[in-house]
Amino acid sequence: MNKADRRFMEEGIKTLHTFNSTPDQPGNTRYIFTDADMKAREYLKSLIEEAGLELYEDGIGNIFGVLRGEDRSLAPVWTGSHFDTVINGGMYDGVVGSLGAIESLKLIKESGEKHLRDIVAVLFTSEESGRYGIGCLGSHFITGELGFEDTKRIKDDEGISLYDTMTSRGYGKDFEKIAKKKGDIFAFLELHIEQGPILEKQGIPIGIVTGITAPSYISVSIKGEQRHAGSTPMNARKDSMCAFAEIVLELEAYAKSLGHPNFCATVGKVNVSPNASNVIPGEVRFTIDLRGIEAEPKDKMTENIIKFFDYLEAKRGVKIEYHIDANDKPMFSDEKLVDLVEGVCLDKKLPYLKMNSGAYHDSLMMAKLCPMAMVFVPSRDGISHDPGEYTSMEEILEGVDVLCESVLRAANLKKL
Ligand code: GLV
Ligand code: MN
Ligand code: MN
């Protein structure tokens, strides 16, 4: 087996970085079904075709490239990641695993190594929650947790439905073929940057993910009274911004009190109305992102903040409405698949660390359908979801080599 092709990975990362909705700002923004996303799709599909893989797309735009195995009666091995980004994000998140999947299939094809099972590169639609507020959108359709009717109710900040954007781009057909069931996929492997500092700090090139932290998303609206900033005395206000500030600090304090790196709370998206310096805000709308590696404490974080809403309504006379948009369960890698990846690292004499993922991934969804494992490569200074995201090409290529060999071994197993 050849080593991963530096030129292919380097060029792929650089080219995808040119498909960017915010070229005048730092970093890269590529939201689902924008022009930038459509250009990235065309490019990735051209790579799949050039690699001589069988290309197809499903109704929500997940892209597939298939390398046929010897026994088509056996369930395939899937590998892949996403190619969208957060707003002003980096060049590596998702992209490394998407290109790494195509490169792995190319390497296996070129090597002529036999494999029983089909191997499928899957490039997921919209793993980031940026446009529609739901993470792992494409893979939620693959698990069947979202379906065609949901596309009509899922709307972006401009009120444009997922149904409208997908149909305007020619998607939305054959929805009944998207969802897979248990047994349809033999195993799923995803290569990804770590997005945290652990591997770099310990000087270890490969992480093998054993568990994935899951998110809950809550949208909140606080309605107070819009009043004059100068003439309304401090004790006669229903200031939605002050209530908001209390919520942010309560979330921080509660998540910190859990004292575990994989329990986090973040408020990252806020709209203030009317957003004027001399007007007491009448309304603040925002999102809460809660993460947890165990379901129960994560649910307790949700319960706690909802109780806090009641307390604040009474204390400040504001009205707080909320909607729980998502409540995913943490998932764990398949132990035998982890052993398989570990075996690859041992054979390659590459130090590795078994670790949890603080970020979520399409693997979180895939684990509901089939055995799953992830390969991490280090992130410089642990930075991610930021233009400063960086992983060296050497580290990326080592990750692709581990992915490729793991996928090939899985594709030759009769059972795990
Ligand atoms: C995915 O990028 C996440 O927010 O964890
Ligand atoms: Mn991300
Ligand atoms: Mn990602």
For 9-23, letters b (16+ CB in 10 Å) and e give beebbebbbebbeee
What phi and psi, each to the nearest 5 degrees, are found at residue 258?
-75, -20
Is the CB of residue 360 below 6 angstroms from any atom belonging to ligand 1?
yes
Rounded to whole angstroms, the Cα distance separating 345 from 342 reads: 5
Please count the other Cβ atoms lying within 10 Å of the Cβ belonging to residue 243.
23
Q: Is residue 211 within 8 Å of 331, Cβ to Cβ?
A: yes
48 contacts: CB under 8 Å, gap ≥ 6: 55, 63, 65, 102, 121
Q: What is the pLDDT of residue 79?
A: 98
pLDDT of residue 71: 97
Non-local (6+) Cβ contacts of 236 within 8 A are none
Find all residues with CB under 8 Å of 167, minimum gap 6, and list them.
Answer: none
> What is the Å distance from ligand 2's center to 93 Cα?
6
From CA 201, how far away is CA 204, in angstroms rounded? 8
**Alpha-carbon gap, residue 217 to 128, rounded angstroms:** 13
Contact 143, 369 (CB under 8 A): yes
Pairwise CA distance, residues 223 & 282, whole Å: 6
Whose structure tokens read 């954007």? 165
What kind of architecture, by CATH, is found in domain 6-213+330-411? 3-Layer(aba) Sandwich (3.40)
Q: Which residue ranges make up each domain of the chain?
A: 6-213+330-411, 214-327
pLDDT for residue 379: 98
What pLDDT was estimated at residue 228? 98
Which SS3 state, helix, strand or coil, does residue 79 take?
A: strand
Q: How far is the CA of 373 from the centre of ligand 2 (A)?
A: 18
Q: Could you state, in chain order, the average pLDDT of each consecutive group of 10 residues for the chain (416 residues)?
A: 96 98 97 98 98 98 98 97 98 98 98 97 97 94 97 96 98 97 98 98 98 96 98 98 98 97 96 98 98 96 98 98 95 98 98 98 98 98 98 98 98 96
Rounded CA Rg of the chain? 22
- pLDDT at residue 41, as a whole number: 98
- The rounded distance, in Å, linking the Cα atoms of 133 and 244 is 20
Does residue 274 have a cis peptide bond before it, meaning omega lies within 30 degrees of 0?
Answer: yes
pLDDT of residue 193: 98
pLDDT of residue 17: 97
**How many angstroms separate the CA atoms of 286 and 283, rounded?**
10
Strand order in the sheet with 283-292: 264-273, 283-292, 214-223, 319-327
Q: Residue with the nearest Cα to atom 5 of ligand 1?
A: 359
Q: Does residue 359's CB lie within 6 angstroms of at least one atom of ligand 1?
A: yes
* pLDDT confidence of residue 184: 98
Amino acid 294: pLDDT? 96
CA of 387 to the centre of ligand 1 (A): 15
- Core vs surface per residue 400-412: b (16+ CB within 10 A) or e: bbbbbbbbbbbbe
For ligand 1, whether the C-beta of 362 sits within 6 Å is: no
- Partners of 208 in the β-ladder: 354, 375
Q: Which residue has the tokens 């093998």?
A: 208
Contact residues for 229 (Cβ-Cβ < 8 A; gap 6+): 277, 278, 279, 280
- Angle at 82 (CA atoms; ends 192, 104), nearest 5 degrees: 60
Q: Distance from the CA of 71 to the center of ligand 2, in angstroms?
A: 35
Both tokens of 389, joined, read 């995201």
Domain 214-327 class?
A: alpha beta
User: Terminus-to-terminus CA distance in the chain, angstroms?
Assistant: 23
CA 346 vs CA 129, 187, 339: distances in Å: 36, 21, 10
Among 85, 195, 264, say which to mutate for ligand 1: greatest number of ligand atoms within 8 Å of CB. Answer: 195
* Ion ligand 2 residues within 5 Å by Cβ: 93
Using DSSP bridges, classify how beta strands 187-193 and 77-82 pair: parallel, antiparallel or unpaired. parallel
Task: Report the candidate in 372, 326, 43 with the shortest Cα–Cα distance to residue 187.
Answer: 372
Dihedral Cα 297, 302, 308, 309, nearest 10 deg: 180
Question: 193 in ligand 1 pocket by Cβ < 6 Å?
Answer: no
Burial of 150 per CB tally in 10 Å (0-12, 13-18, 19+): middle
> Is the N-terminal amide bond of 233 cis, ω within 30° of 0?
no
